[in-house]
Structures are given as structure tokens and as C-alpha cells.
Chain A
Amino acid sequence: MAGIGTIARRTFLVGSVAIAGGVAFGYYMVRKPHANPLLDDLAEGEATFNPWVKISSEGITLITPHTDLGQGAYSMQAALIAEELDLDFGQFEVSPGAPSAAYYNTALADEAAPFLSTDRGMQANMTRGAMGALFKILGAQISGGSTSVPDSFDKLRLAGAVARETLKKAAAAKAGVSIEDLQTRSGAVVLPDGDSIPYTDLAAAAAKVKPVKNVELRAPSEWRLIGKPMQRLDIVGKSTGTLPYGVDLEIDGMVHAAVKLNPRQGGALNSYDASAAEAMRGVIKVVPVTGGVAVVADNTWRAFQAANAIEFDWGPAPYPAEMDAHWETLSGAFKEDRLDKVWRDDGDVDAAIAAGDAVDAEYRAPYVAHAPLEPISALVRVDDNGAELWAGTQMPRFVQTNVAAIVGCEPEDVQLHNQYVGGSFGHRLEDEQIKCAAEVAKAMKGTPVKLTYSREEDFAHDFPRQIAMGKMKGVVEDGRVAAYDLSIAMPSVADSQLSRQPLDPPPGPDSQIAAGAWNLPYDLPHFRMSAYKAPPLAPISSWRSVGASSNGFFADAFLDELIHAAGADPLEERLRLMNNDVARKVLEAVGEMSGWGSAMEPNRGRGVAFIESFGVPCAEVVEVSATDAGVKIDKVFVAADVGRIVDPINFDNHVKGAVVWGLGHAMNCEITYSDGKAQQTNYHAHEGMRLYQCPEILVRGLENADRIRGIGEPPVPPAAPALANAIFAATGERIREMPFNKHIEFV
């Protein structure tokens, strides 16, 4: 390929809407599909019908290109193919396959287009189409933005259907019967006489048949798998310690590496003394890398020990060394020349606020680490022809390009084996550890090198969630919320993240600065949402629910303040303002589930919040008790509408996990910088929620929305405001800053 970077720069410079050109109106009608990567090394007698299905006489392989970070993506993708291909779980293998442009993500375009999710107008759809075309041209194989399900839902069912019909065609020819008389069941074509031919026996014949293109997807009433509880393919492996993650890989001749990079992220390495490290047992080599030094040894622990024995003189941080300056920068960003976009401007906010008795507030959200439990790692071998690498990544094609640049080869000469990932939450949308491992492997040509970050190094070099600030004003009138002026400032996540990739940020405003806040589905007489792009501070990245993770807290918690100021009921007033039926039903559901309005004991309280993110309306009610020792979170009720639930068990598990994520970080997590270094070095100082703090969580999934959406992120944004609102109800204390344990204790 010409290099993702070259294409990307050129394309983005053209501008996203300009290239619409009628190219992209969905997968089926794209005129020139990407080549099927499975054709590249297809053996004699093997059949492939599209980039997702490969059948040989030995077995069936389903390609599941969305990375499995723990969200069950492999199982979900396999189920969608198996639904149409009439396969049972157990009859196929899954593989992430090799990175390919064919696996570009079409659904990411939806979130990237600056329109309300409910906007199905021509301009909105044209822009989404244009963005989709862009992602196609880029071959942007990315797992992120809660898009694995929406990207796969039609595509993979279609892939299964094409394979099925083609196998039937082959069977018809072989058995001399008409296709119309054939059925498929449990991995076989069933002949009119009841005999069946396994797909594997048809592979050689099917390989010679032209794939059937004209297929119909089954009606939901015919589904065997979708919508019913499934057993995840990885569940036994993950319950027996037998499933290998990237960090567990072991190949012949492999050595282990550890690294120390400037803890002032992006700062220079002035000098170092590794003489002590070099003399330590098991140390094979000390390798300077970009921004630091790696140690290669015969055991991970020995590499860690030796890396700790190196003395460093680090340069200063390329961002303010102390937190005060970060907050001052944000506070100073609420001004005209930093205004990125006024996303919403209903009524006349200025006049309404000037006329009324305005309530105002300032809200803060800190940097927060991803800190998935599997520390980042990568295994790389570099030789004269290129590189082979084993690592979990959400953006395999970017990784190929980046490693190629380091190794000095073409991206296609970087053979990437994507791995199971022990949690990401956005962490694996970065590839610093892979680049670093490639540098070390280049210095150790021929030897496979597995680089593992220590937990401390992972914390020091996490690119955390953005720091953000909200400034709000509002007016209430006659027991109602009359005006809401919401301004948010943050540095651009996209700018920071893409500065580490061969890609320029897209032109135009950064939608994440407004995500979750501008699209409140409320008919307020006067509502303005202004987004301010602060200058870059510490490097940041996408963190589960991205902009909405801070903005949801700001937008909903201050609305709650206004509702209380108006003397209205928090749920009733939100329902009164709600202008969208799908969202209204979500809010009504949590009201009903929680018995909203029923009496509570003294010192207890409940709070409600509603935020839409990634196109998913999600409402939560949190119940807390204020005890002498601190606040206890008793119960959480969640309702969300994703249009269609593929697997109710996985949906339930995801929602609960996202609630735990949202609440845990709101309770007690932040990354702060002093002397330019993150002060939190391990989980003792960035704990999140522990089991004993986990409330009972009751989940209801609704299916009223017109399109299918992902659930990985949407329950995160409403969690923090629902908790803040509940704490206010129980204690009268309004907390406007995360983490909340700066103000109250939790038990």
C-alpha cells in the first residue's frame, strides 16, 4: 500500500465532506471493494467467499477483525457470521486475521460526523457517507468508539449469507439438484433426501464457484443466535488460566525487555549510566530507545531490576510541571480566540440570563489513567525482510506503518498477529510500547524480543483521559429550568492522539469537546453549548467514552442543580423537557425500575442522570446512604437503548462494568503531575472500585432505536452525575469536581 500516512494526510487535507462524491452509501454498494486478504495465502482446495470466511477440508475459520479487548468481540463477530452461515458454536475456529484495508470500520463515521444521532436528514447522511468513504479509503481497521457491533452487524451477517449461498451453489452442482431445494444446518448443506454434505467437504468445489452476490438477510424471527444468551468462546480459557494474552507469549529464542522512559512524558533523555545494570545477572544488552533506555535480559524480572538500576538525567516536561498551571490554562481558555464551536444555540441565552437571577458553577474533571490490568507489551522480531510482531492493538494497520518506519521496510512486510488483550479502555489505541519494542528488536536483529512495561512504567506513560473544565450559568423560572449556558474547555484528544500517528487531525471542530453535552435531548427555552479548545497540556488519549466522560458529568450534574434551584423533581423535570421518544422511554424505565418518588430513609438519597453518547441514550439512577464513615453506594438502575441487543448476557455484563468504571473513577481516581511526572505510580494511588464497594446494579436494555449501537461506553457518562446527584440528595453537599473523594469519604 502507498502508506497509510501518505493517503491519510492527502485525504484529510482535502477535507472530509469534499470527497463525498457519491462513493459511500453502505457496504454493499461500494463500487470497488478492497481485495480479500484471505486470497493472499489460500491453499489449494481452500475456499474463501469474502474477507471473513475461509473453509478447507480440515475446518472452518471465521475472521473476526475487531480486536477482543475483553468486550467479547470475537464471539459477537463469529455469532453474526454463524447466524447466516448456519454454524453452531464449536464448529469453527476464529482468528483476528491479518490486518487489511478490507476490514475498515464503517461505523466510526457516525460518531465522527457532527450531527445529532437522531438526525437522519440528507446533510447528516451525506456527511456520514463521506466520512465512511474516508475511512474506507484509509482502510481504517480500528476497534473503538463502541463500534464493533454496529460496524459488524450487517457486514458479517452478509458475509455469512454469501458463504452459505455459495456453498449451496457448489452443493447443487455436486448433487445435481436445484439450489432452491437445499437447506443448510449445523455446518452442512442438507439435500432434499435428507442427506447432508458438511461444508468442509464442499470447500474444494466451492473454491471454484463464483461467489453468489445476491443474498437476502434473514428476518429477526428466524434468528437462532442473535438476541439469545451465548457462551463466549473465550470463557473457558479465561476461567482456567489457559488463554494466552499478548504478555504471556513465549516463542523460541525469545528474550525479555524492560524500559525506562522519561517520566516527564515526551521529555528528552540527557544522559544515563547503565554500568550497574550491565553487570547484573541475566542482562544481555542495554539499548537506548526514543526517550529512554531499554534493558534486554533473560527474564522479565531481571530486566525490570536492571532497568531500575540505571541512573538517568532526564530533560524537562514539554508541558507545565505542576497542576496549578494546567487548571489555569483551562480556566483561561474560555475566550473568543479559543472558541472551537458553538454546538447548540437555542433561544436567546444571553438575554434570558441577563434578565433572570442566574445560578452559576464551575466543574472539573481530572486526568485519569486507563490502567487496564494487563500491562502493555509487545513481542517483535526484526530480520532483513521486515518484522514479525505479536501484540494486542486496536489499530493494526497504523501499527504496521509505524513499525515499518522504524524497521525500514514496507508496511506489508510487517507481519502482525493481533492478540487477546487484558483490558484496554482506550489504552491500546496507542502503540508506544510496540514502537519501542520494534526499536529494541531492531538492535537485536534475528532475536524475538518481548518488551513488557512494568506497572509503574505503564502508569508513567499512560496517555490519560483529558483534563476538562465546565463553566455554566442557568436561570430557573416558575419551577422550571428556563435557560442553560454550558461552556466546556479541554485540550483536544484527537490532536494529541494523532500527533503520535501518521495522520493529521481532521479539519473542523473537535466533536469530543462537546460530546455528551451538546446533544442533550431537552427542549429548553434557551440553551447554548460552547466548546473551547484549550492549548495542549500533558499528552492525552481516548479513555472509555472520551469527551463524554467529563462532559456528561458537567452537563447533567449542573442541570440537576438547576432543577433543584427550580424546586422541581429531578426525574419529572427531565421528562418534561425531553424531546425524543426513544430517550424518554429510557428515562421512564429507570424511574419505574427504581421506584422513583417512593420514600427513602433519612440519610439516603437517589440521583438520576441521562446522557446520550455514541448514539445511545442511557439513564441511571444511583441510590446512596450517608453513613458516619462515609457514603455507600447501595444500588444502581440502568436503562439504555442500543436498538438491538446481540447477546443479552454480554450486554448486561458490559453495562455493569461500565457503571463500575464510571463510578469507580469518579470516586477516587486522578492523575496529577508534579515536577512534570505523574504522581500516581500504581493502583494504591489510583484504585477505582473494589468489590466491596460495588452496588447492586439492575440493567434494562431497550430496543426502540432505529439502528444498532454499541454498549461499551455509553453507560459511563451518566454514572458520575447520577452519583453526584444522589450524594446531593442524601447529604445536601453538591460536588462539582472529580474525584469525589477529595470532598467526601466512600465506604
Chain B
Amino acid sequence: MKKTLGLASALGLGVIAAMGVALSHGSGDDDAAIDLVVNQPEGDVSREEGLAAWDRIFAVASHPRCANCHTDENNVPMWSGPSYGKTRPHGMNINAGMSRIGIESMPCTTCHTQSTKPNTIPHAPPHTGHVWMLAPVEFVWFGKDTQTICAQMRDPERNGGRDGAGLVEHILHDAEIKAFITWGFNPGGGREPAPGTMQDHLNDMVTWTAAGMPCPDPAG
């Protein structure tokens, strides 16, 4: 694991735990759970089917709802949406720091609380069942092309140490705690959701991993 993740843990995770205690009271809300079904493919999955599934995964990963918080080592989340005209850095000089949770200056949780309640208010800071944070810096998606994101996602060194099954499990776990992927498909507050549904996304991940995680050839 890279140094930054180590630092993130050292700096951040203790605080995440502390903030979890502080801010997650009553957040085990009783909203209907997302029921996902893992549809294991029968027989082999072709590379073409896998690539087709990847294209849809890329459409999700590169969508602003997801990519805006998968940003590079500048640790700045992005904003986009109709009222901003174009994608721009998160307002208010927000910087999540190397901890990716903002503890170096102002924690993301100052505004983004931890709650599984639906997001309903336009332009309010969204919340999920996970403590708000930027994705680890190894998972940078913002502004990256399909080959780059694909290579990252299948690399355990850069995907949180996950194999194919781990990636599928990641989605299931996310749905269970209503974390960021779940939110991406139902961001609320008038935000444009990532394309497709959580179930579609799970199906695609199952298909892509079953196909051996093929990546598109570099363009040209």
C-alpha cells in the first residue's frame, strides 16, 4: 500500500472513528434496504461481453457524481451541475488533505454528516451512511480515460487490495451501509444520478470480473 494511504490511516481513521461516534448517532435509520441480487453468469463470459460491461462501468465511474470525489493528490473535490455551468473545484476552498477526510484543516463532516436518510434539499451538502471523504488518492478517476481507470480498478495495489470477488463484495457492502456508490445512483436534491441502477452496476461488475477484467485497447 502506498504511503499516502498509510498516512491517511494514521491521521484520519482514528478521527473517522471518533467522528463516527460523534456524528452517527441515530444514523442507523430504518429506510428500506437496497435489495441487490448477484446474478452469476452461466458459463464463460466473453471478452466482448466483459468490455461492454466495462464501458457501462466506466460511464458510471467517470460520471461527475462519482468522479468528482475521485480526484488527484491535490485533494480537492469537484462540483458540477446545471447551476455551476461547468465543472469547478468545490467552492469555499475545500481541501480534503492527504487524509482525504479534511482533518488537516476542516473535516468533510463539518457539513457532510453521516446518515442513511434520503438527500432531499437542493444544494445542501449530501450525506451517506459512510463518513464523508474523498476516495483514496490511488483511485483517481476525475478526468481520466477509460484505459486508465480500468487499469487502476483491476490493480489490487490501487483498488484497495480487491480481486474480482472483492470488487463485487464492495458494491454489496456499499448497498448494505448505503455508502457512496448507492448514493451515486440516488443522489437526491435534484442532482443528476450516475447512469443506470445499482443493480445494473452490480450486474456489470459481475460480468466484467467474470470476463477476467478486460480493459479496452488504447485508442488509435
Nearest 5 Cβ contacts at the A-B interface: A692-B93, A684-B123, A685-B83, A682-B123, A690-B92
The answer to whether the Cβ of A681 comes within 8 Å of any Cβ in the partner chain is: yes
Q: Would A691 and B123 be within 8 Å (CB), given that A684-B83, A685-B83 are in contact?
A: no
* Interface 1/0 per residue, A691-708 and B, CB below 8 Å: 111000000000000000
Task: Flag if A684 contacts B91 (CB, 8 Å).
Answer: yes
* Interface 1/0 per residue, B120-161 and A, CB below 8 Å: 001100000000000000000000000000000000000000
The answer to whether the Cβ of A573 comes within 8 Å of any Cβ in the partner chain is: no
Chain A interfacial positions (CB closer than 8 Å to B)? 679, 681-682, 684-685, 687, 690-693
Could you tell me the distance between the alpha carbons of A467 and B108 in the complex, rounded to whole angstroms?
38
Chain A residues lying within 8 Å of B84, measured Cβ to Cβ, are 685
Chain B residues lying within 8 Å of A681, measured Cβ to Cβ, are 122-123
Of all chain B residues, the one with the shortest Cβ separation from A685 is: B83
Shortest A286–chain B CB gap in Å is 22
Q: Would A687 and B93 be within 8 Å (CB), given that A681-B123, A682-B123 are in contact?
A: no
Chain A residues lying within 8 Å of B122, measured Cβ to Cβ, are 681
Could you tell me the distance between the alpha carbons of A423 and B44 in the complex, rounded to whole angstroms?
68
Task: Flag if A687 contacts B123 (CB, 8 Å).
Answer: no
Task: Flag if A690 contacts B83 (CB, 8 Å).
Answer: no
Task: Flag if A690 contacts B93 (CB, 8 Å).
Answer: yes
Could you tell me the distance between the alpha carbons of A679 and B84 in the complex, rounded to whole angstroms?
11
Could you tell me the distance between the alpha carbons of A656 and B58 in the complex, rounded to whole angstroms?
48
Could you tell me the distance between the alpha carbons of A690 and B83 in the complex, rounded to whole angstroms?
19
Shortest B59–chain A CB gap in Å is 27
Could you tell me the distance between the alpha carbons of A691 and B123 in the complex, rounded to whole angstroms?
21
Chain B residues lying within 8 Å of A685, measured Cβ to Cβ, are 83-84, 123
Task: Flag if A691 contacts B93 (CB, 8 Å).
Answer: yes
Of all chain B residues, the one with the shortest Cβ separation from A747 is: B89
- Chain B at the A interface: SS class: loop
Of all chain A residues, the one with the shortest Cβ separation from B79 is: A684
Chain A residues lying within 8 Å of B91, measured Cβ to Cβ, are 684, 687, 690
* Interface 1/0 per residue, B89-125 and A, CB below 8 Å: 0011100000000000000000000000000001100
Chain A residues lying within 8 Å of B92, measured Cβ to Cβ, are 690
Could you tell me the distance between the alpha carbons of A685 and B93 in the complex, rounded to whole angstroms?
15
Interface range, B side: under 10
Shortest B188–chain A CB gap in Å is 15
Of all chain B residues, the one with the shortest Cβ separation from A680 is: B83
Chain B residues lying within 8 Å of A687, measured Cβ to Cβ, are 91
Shortest B1–chain A CB gap in Å is 30
Could you tell me the distance between the alpha carbons of A602 and B123 in the complex, rounded to whole angstroms?
39
Shortest B61–chain A CB gap in Å is 25
Chain B residues lying within 8 Å of A692, measured Cβ to Cβ, are 93
Could you tell me the distance between the alpha carbons of A682 and B189 in the complex, rounded to whole angstroms?
14
Could you tell me the distance between the alpha carbons of A561 and B84 in the complex, rounded to whole angstroms?
31
Could you tell me the distance between the alpha carbons of A684 and B83 in the complex, rounded to whole angstroms?
9
Could you tell me the distance between the alpha carbons of A692 and B89 in the complex, rounded to whole angstroms?
14
Could you tell me the distance between the alpha carbons of A687 and B93 in the complex, rounded to whole angstroms?
12
Chain A residues lying within 8 Å of B123, measured Cβ to Cβ, are 681-682, 684-685
Contacts A679-B83, A685-B83, A692-B93 aside, 13 further interface pairs with beta carbons under 8 A come to A681-B122, A681-B123, A682-B123, A684-B83, A684-B91, A684-B123, A685-B84, A685-B123, A690-B91, A690-B92, A690-B93, A691-B93, A693-B93
Could you tell me the distance between the alpha carbons of A681 and B190 in the complex, rounded to whole angstroms?
14
Shortest B102–chain A CB gap in Å is 15
Could you tell me the distance between the alpha carbons of A684 and B84 in the complex, rounded to whole angstroms?
9
Chain B residues lying within 8 Å of A682, measured Cβ to Cβ, are 123
Could you tell me the distance between the alpha carbons of A693 and B123 in the complex, rounded to whole angstroms?
22
Chain B residues lying within 8 Å of A684, measured Cβ to Cβ, are 83, 91, 123
Of all chain A residues, the one with the shortest Cβ separation from B92 is: A690
Of all chain B residues, the one with the shortest Cβ separation from A668 is: B91
Shortest A738–chain B CB gap in Å is 16
Could you tell me the distance between the alpha carbons of A451 and B64 in the complex, rounded to whole angstroms?
39
Of all chain A residues, the one with the shortest Cβ separation from B93 is: A692
Q: Which of B55-94 contact A (CB under 8 A)?
A: 83-84, 91-93
Shortest B176–chain A CB gap in Å is 31
A-B contact pairs, 13 of them (CB 8 A): A679-B83, A681-B123, A682-B123, A684-B83, A684-B91, A684-B123, A685-B84, A685-B123, A690-B91, A690-B92, A691-B93, A692-B93, A693-B93
Could you tell me the distance between the alpha carbons of A681 and B92 in the complex, rounded to whole angstroms?
17
Shortest A653–chain B CB gap in Å is 23
Chain A residues lying within 8 Å of B83, measured Cβ to Cβ, are 679, 684-685
Could you tell me the distance between the alpha carbons of A691 and B92 in the complex, rounded to whole angstroms?
8
Could you tell me the distance between the alpha carbons of A681 and B123 in the complex, rounded to whole angstroms?
9
Of all chain B residues, the one with the shortest Cβ separation from A687 is: B91
Interface centre among A679, A684, A691, by most B CB within 10 Å? Answer: A684
Chain A residues lying within 8 Å of B93, measured Cβ to Cβ, are 690-693
Could you tell me the distance between the alpha carbons of A549 and B32 in the complex, rounded to whole angstroms?
53
Chain B residues lying within 8 Å of A690, measured Cβ to Cβ, are 91-93
Could you tell me the distance between the alpha carbons of A693 and B122 in the complex, rounded to whole angstroms?
26
Could you tell me the distance between the alpha carbons of A594 and B46 in the complex, rounded to whole angstroms?
69
Shortest A717–chain B CB gap in Å is 27
Of all chain B residues, the one with the shortest Cβ separation from A742 is: B85
Could you tell me the distance between the alpha carbons of A693 and B93 in the complex, rounded to whole angstroms?
9
Shortest A512–chain B CB gap in Å is 31
Could you tell me the distance between the alpha carbons of A249 and B91 in the complex, rounded to whole angstroms?
32
Of all chain A residues, the one with the shortest Cβ separation from B83 is: A685
Shortest B158–chain A CB gap in Å is 26
Could you tell me the distance between the alpha carbons of A684 and B122 in the complex, rounded to whole angstroms?
11
Of all chain B residues, the one with the shortest Cβ separation from A745 is: B88
Shortest A726–chain B CB gap in Å is 21
Shortest B50–chain A CB gap in Å is 39
Could you tell me the distance between the alpha carbons of A687 and B122 in the complex, rounded to whole angstroms?
16
Could you tell me the distance between the alpha carbons of A690 and B122 in the complex, rounded to whole angstroms?
22
Could you tell me the distance between the alpha carbons of A687 and B88 in the complex, rounded to whole angstroms?
14
Could you tell me the distance between the alpha carbons of A607 and B91 in the complex, rounded to whole angstroms?
27
Could you tell me the distance between the alpha carbons of A684 and B123 in the complex, rounded to whole angstroms?
7
Chain B residues lying within 8 Å of A691, measured Cβ to Cβ, are 93
Shortest A515–chain B CB gap in Å is 32
Shortest B220–chain A CB gap in Å is 28
Could you tell me the distance between the alpha carbons of A124 and B83 in the complex, rounded to whole angstroms?
49
Of all chain B residues, the one with the shortest Cβ separation from A679 is: B83
Shortest B72–chain A CB gap in Å is 14
Shortest B132–chain A CB gap in Å is 17
Could you tell me the distance between the alpha carbons of A692 and B93 in the complex, rounded to whole angstroms?
7
Shortest A739–chain B CB gap in Å is 12
Shortest B119–chain A CB gap in Å is 15
Could you tell me the distance between the alpha carbons of A421 and B92 in the complex, rounded to whole angstroms?
25
Shortest B86–chain A CB gap in Å is 10
Shortest A246–chain B CB gap in Å is 25
Shortest A698–chain B CB gap in Å is 23
Shortest B82–chain A CB gap in Å is 10
Could you tell me the distance between the alpha carbons of A687 and B84 in the complex, rounded to whole angstroms?
11
Shortest A371–chain B CB gap in Å is 15
Shortest B24–chain A CB gap in Å is 22
Could you tell me the distance between the alpha carbons of A692 and B90 in the complex, rounded to whole angstroms?
13
Shortest B211–chain A CB gap in Å is 40
Could you tell me the distance between the alpha carbons of A328 and B122 in the complex, rounded to whole angstroms?
32
* Interface 1/0 per residue, B5-33 and A, CB below 8 Å: 00000000000000000000000000000
Of all chain B residues, the one with the shortest Cβ separation from A693 is: B93
Could you tell me the distance between the alpha carbons of A277 and B133 in the complex, rounded to whole angstroms?
37
Shortest A675–chain B CB gap in Å is 14
Shortest A419–chain B CB gap in Å is 29
Of all chain A residues, the one with the shortest Cβ separation from B88 is: A745
Shortest B71–chain A CB gap in Å is 14
Chain B residues lying within 8 Å of A679, measured Cβ to Cβ, are 83
Shortest B10–chain A CB gap in Å is 27
Shortest A366–chain B CB gap in Å is 15
Could you tell me the distance between the alpha carbons of A302 and B214 in the complex, rounded to whole angstroms?
53
Could you tell me the distance between the alpha carbons of A682 and B93 in the complex, rounded to whole angstroms?
18
Could you tell me the distance between the alpha carbons of A58 and B91 in the complex, rounded to whole angstroms?
53
Of all chain B residues, the one with the shortest Cβ separation from A684 is: B123
Could you tell me the distance between the alpha carbons of A473 and B84 in the complex, rounded to whole angstroms?
35
